[in-house]
Amino acid sequence: MEHADLVAYCLSKPGAVPDEPWDGDVVAKVGGKIFAFLGGDGLGVKCGRDADEAAELRMRFPESVTVMAYIGRHGWNAITLDGRIDDDELRELVDASYDAVVAKLPERLRPA
């Protein structure tokens, strides 16, 4: 999957908006919360409740998935878009991250 296609997919989610909280680092947010880091040529998503759950993806794709700096202990992984993870699974990872973030939003901030 091309990076631009991944960005478009993230922003097609209900209530998703782009933001650039740090110079040059684009993120996708819903309800004011980040669900995908889209800077550079990679992807950062929530892959579980904590680092232990997120480790499963890192074990399956050790060449392509690493712990995200600073927030990895909370279940976030950084994914290199090198073709080792197929497009359907990348979309599923985005969907799961989006769903996890939306589930924690107050009812009034959840997309309809």
pLDDT in tens, 48-103: 888 889 999 999 999 999 999 989 889 999 999 999 999 999 999 999 999 999 99
For range 100-111, the mean pLDDT: 95
Task: Render the burial of 75-91: b for 16+ CB within 10 Å, e for the rest.
Answer: bbbbbbbeeebeeeebe
Pairwise CA distance, residues 47 & 79, whole Å: 11
- Helix (H/G/I), strand (E/B), else coil: 79: strand
Structure tokens at 87: 């497009």
pLDDT given for residue 90 in this prediction: 97
pLDDT given for residue 49 in this prediction: 86
Q: What pLDDT, in 10s, does the model give residues 17-45?
A: 999 988 888 999 999 999 999 988 799 99
Predicted TM-score (pTM) of this structure? 0.93
Pairwise CA distance, residues 93 & 10, whole Å: 11
* Residues 6, 85 contacting (CB under 8 angstroms): no
Closest CA to 17 of 39, 35, 40, 43: 35
- Region for residue 48 given its phi and psi (left: phi exceeds 0; alpha: psi -120 to 50; beta: otherwise): left
Residue given tokens 């985005």 in the structure block: 94
